[in-house]
């Protein structure tokens, strides 16, 4: 939390939308509650939808399997939505889930595609 909060605060104050993909060890609802207690005023940004907190499993996994295409599609849609909503860009803070055996190539491809998506848009990945 000590690392995430400064990134979120700076992005939100810079009128950027934020997505925080929580690590496997932190449930999205627990992360939200921790943010509310540690970041005064965050509830305003949560109500506006300027920040989304999503569990690692819900972002990367579909039906128990790593789904990089869906995650990339979701990222692209959220970048477009953020810009259409008048935000200056989108910050993605992600913690890659502990990969299952046999998906390292998919994970590497995903990270490469995220970098390409970020270069083409007004997004930042932390």
The C-alpha angle 104, 73, 55, rounded to 5 degrees, equals 65
| pLDDT at residue number 84 | 93
| pLDDT at residue number 78 | 92
Give residue for tokens 């690590």: 23
Report d(CA 83, CA 28) in Å as an integer. Answer: 24
pTM of the model as a whole: 0.81
Tens of pLDDT, residue by residue over 76-122, are 899 999 999 999 989 888 866 555 555 666 667 777 777 777 777 76
């Amino acid at each position: 939390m000590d690392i995430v909060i400064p990134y979120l605060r700076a992005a939100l104050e810079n009128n950027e939308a934020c997505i925080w993909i929580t690590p496997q060890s932190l449930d999205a609802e627990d992360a939200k509650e921790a943010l509310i207690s540690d970041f005064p005023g965050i509830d305003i940004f949560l109500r506006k939808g300027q920040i989304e907190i999503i569990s690692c499993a819900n972002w990367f996994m579909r039906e128990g399997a790593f789904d990089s295409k869906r995650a990339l599609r979701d990222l692209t849609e959220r970048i477009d939505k953020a810009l259409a909503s008048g935000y200056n860009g989108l910050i993605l803070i992600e913690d890659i889930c502990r990969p299952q055996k046999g998906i390292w190539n998919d994970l590497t491809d995903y990270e490469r595609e995220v970098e390409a998506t970020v270069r083409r848009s007004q997004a930042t990945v932390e």
